[in-house]
Structure 1
Amino acid sequence: YKVLRFNPTGDQLKLLKHFSNSPGFDFWNEPRRYGGNLDIMVSPAQLPFFLTYLKQNSISFTVLNENVQTLIDAEIKHQEATPKAPRAISFDRYYRHSEINAYLEELAEKFRDLVTLESIGRSYEDRDMVVIKISSGGNGTRPVVLVDGGIHAREWIAPAMTLYIINQLVENNTANGALTDAVDWYILPVLNPDGYEFSHTNVSEIYIHTLNLNDS
């Protein structure tokens, strides 16, 4: 997989958008206005055709990344070399769904006056979907902030961001106590646990956004 960067004109952007829902193409971002960059990841199978299309339409580009797979392989190697089920969270790697739930359980045990957990159900593949409630009191009278992450399976940064929010609200509550005194926080780190786990174990399917079920 290669990532190509474009600085398209308005007409060129319209041509490129034709591929936004095509298999083998993944739009990493999209310029909000004329003059912005557009990054597209292209599969090896689609690359020859796409390069011809770009040449025919005089659309210039630069190669942002020659081989995305090397980045994924490096991340997986780093995860495998890191001890599992940490007693303290860190932000130098992406955690698996079971590790995230284990961290929430640790917080509930350690910070009983601040943290409670609730399962909102199980996924199709029977993974527990745990919501953490962070509140210093109020008996349910306070406004509520709901945060969820991991809707799109391969966007690993979203669950990581929810963990950072949880970490700051709970383990750094001395500095952030005003946030838990003012509102009650409900956070679901991974809304799509099956797809999230699939993206970790099937790295060749990196263009998959969610895990879809079908009869085949």
Structure 2
Amino acid sequence: MEFKDVLAREHATRKFTDQRVSEKTVRKVIEEAQRTPSLLNSQPWRIYVAEGEVAKAIRKEHEEKTLANEEPHEEFDSLLKVEWDTFPSKNMATMSETLDYFLRGETDDFDQAQLKLFNAPVIVFLTIPKQSPAWSIFDLGGFSQTLMLAANNRGLSTMPAHAFVKYPEVIRKYLNIPEDETIGIGIGLGYPNKKATINDYKSKRVPLDEILKIKKNL
């Protein structure tokens, strides 16, 4: 696939079909993501994949805990409790407004999709050692993006979401993740439900000149 087409496919899929993703495809996607650079070649990431009955069990327990109003307690919690600067805050507010307008009566479908972890048939959980420098979080983000682009290149759709890691004890229960690893990111993989209009939403990007400054002369 041409790279511009891979980029064009890159957006959050909020509702997947039940179509199975072959283990061979999942392995190839992760193998390609391993090309991601990291500080001093530390490659701090570890990958845990839930599919089949395991993915169903994780989705079920997530739904039960959410309906019981259990507070999220993700392991990157301290990083989420920050005061956002004005610029990203404005971007988040713009997305919220445009998403609300886009949904117009489909909010329940949107909420149900998240409640059921988007029906993702494959969930990839990424960890780093608890004893890691902050730079490893940057490396983990780079690995995640490479993984999603590799998945898109192979005809899959992706959904990186906070919802996947809200209840880390559920993930550890089914995937036997060691306690000395921090569960950082969850990404859903699968094939998009083409009948679900909530999959049609694409967030807008800030104009290039608002974020780019090029200086040539002293």
TM exceeding 0.5: no
TM-score (norm 1): 0.25
The TM-score normalised by the length of structure 2 is 0.25
Q: Point out which structure has higher relative CO (alpha carbons under 8 A, 6+ apart).
A: 2
Looking at secondary structure, tell me which structure has more helix per residue: 2
Question: Larger Cα Rg: Structure 1 or Structure 2?
Answer: 1
